[in-house]
Amino acid sequence: DGSGVDIYILGAGVDRRHSCFGMNQVIPGKIFGPYKDGYNGHDTYVATQAVGLGYGPATGAKVILVKTCDDGGVGYLSNLLRSLSWAFQQSGFRERPSIIVLSAGLVGDNYLDQVIQSLINHGLHIVIGAGDQSMNAGDFSPQRLAGVDTIDAIDNDGNVATFSNWGHAITAFYLGVRVKSAWTNSETDSIELSSTDVSAAGVVGVLAIELGQHAQSPDALTKNME
C-alpha cells in the first residue's frame, strides 16, 4: 500500500481535512513565497488519486505538502526551484523512498532541467503530466528529460485523450479521462476531471506501491514501467 514512501506534492496545497485521508497521512511541509497555508481543488484531487482511501492505491504512503504558489495555482519559478532543493534535503533527512509530483504546464527552462536532473541522479523520482495542450511534450520542462516519468492520458477504451501532449518524451499512459477523486467543497466532496495531471496522480500511487516493496533507482523503476 505504499507504506514507507513519501510523496512530495509541489503546488497550491492539499485540503488535509478530507475524509479520504488517514490520520497524519498528509504532512505540512514548507511554504515558499508570500503565501498563507491554504489549498485548492487540483492538488487535493491529485493527492487523493494517489493515496486517498477509496480513490488511490497507495493508502499507506505519506503526502508532504510543499506550497510554491497561491491557492489559484499561480506562482514563480524561483519558488519552485527553492522548493525542489528543500524536498531533496528533506528526503535525505527522512531516508525514505521519495516521489516528487509536479503539475504540467511549465515552459522549457534549461536551469529547471538541470535541477531536476540533479534530483534524479540522487535517487528522487519525478512524475509529471505530459500537458494538455495537444503539443509536443518535448517542448516542456521537465517533461523532456529522459529521467522524468512523463505521463499521458487515455480513456477507458485505451484511446489517447485528444487534449494530451505527445512525442518521445512520454514514459507511460494511464487513465485520465472522467476520473473521480476528492474535491474541496466539503470533507466528503468529489468530482470527475480529465487531464494528464489526473493520469500522473494515478501513476504516482502505483509507483509508491512498487517503491514500498522494492526500493530502486529512478532509471530502474522507469524501465519496470515499460
pLDDT tens digits, one per residue of 180-208:
999 998 889 999 999 999 999 999 999 99
Distance of CA 132 to the CA centre of its chain: 15
- Our CA angle for 189, 43, 49, nearest 5°, is 65
pLDDT at 119: 95
pLDDT at 104: 72
Task: Give the chain's length.
Answer: 226
Q: Return the H-helix or E-strand segment holding 142.
A: none
pLDDT of 22 above 70? yes
pLDDT band at 75; cut points 50, 70, 90: confident
Q: Which residue has the cell 514514459?
A: 171
* Amino acid in the structure at residue 207: L
pLDDT at 172: 94
Determine phi and psi for 9, rounding to 5 degrees.
Answer: -105, 115
Domains parsed from the chain with CATH numbers? 6-225 (3.40.50.200)
pLDDT band at 226; cut points 50, 70, 90: low
Query: What is the grid cell recorded at 175?
Result: 487513465
pLDDT at 214: 85
pLDDT at 163: 96
Q: What is the dihedral of CA 92, 29, 23, 202, to 10 degrees?
A: -80
Rounded to the nearest integer, the mean pLDDT of the chain is 92
Distance of CA 64 to the CA centre of its chain: 11
**Mean pLDDT within 133-139:** 93
* Amino acid in the structure at residue 57: P
Q: Which residue has the cell 509541489?
A: 10
Q: What is the pLDDT of residues 32-57, one digit of tens each?
A: 999 988 888 899 999 999 999 999 99
**Mean pLDDT within 156-161:** 96
Distance of CA 203 to the CA centre of its chain: 9
* Amino acid in the structure at residue 198: V
Q: Quote the pTM value.
A: 0.93
CA distance linking residue 165 with residue 135, whole number of Å: 5
Reference 41, options 152, 193, 178; nearest CA is 193
Q: What is the pLDDT of residues 164-173, one digit of tens each?
A: 999 999 999 9
pLDDT at 108: 74
pLDDT of 142 above 90? yes
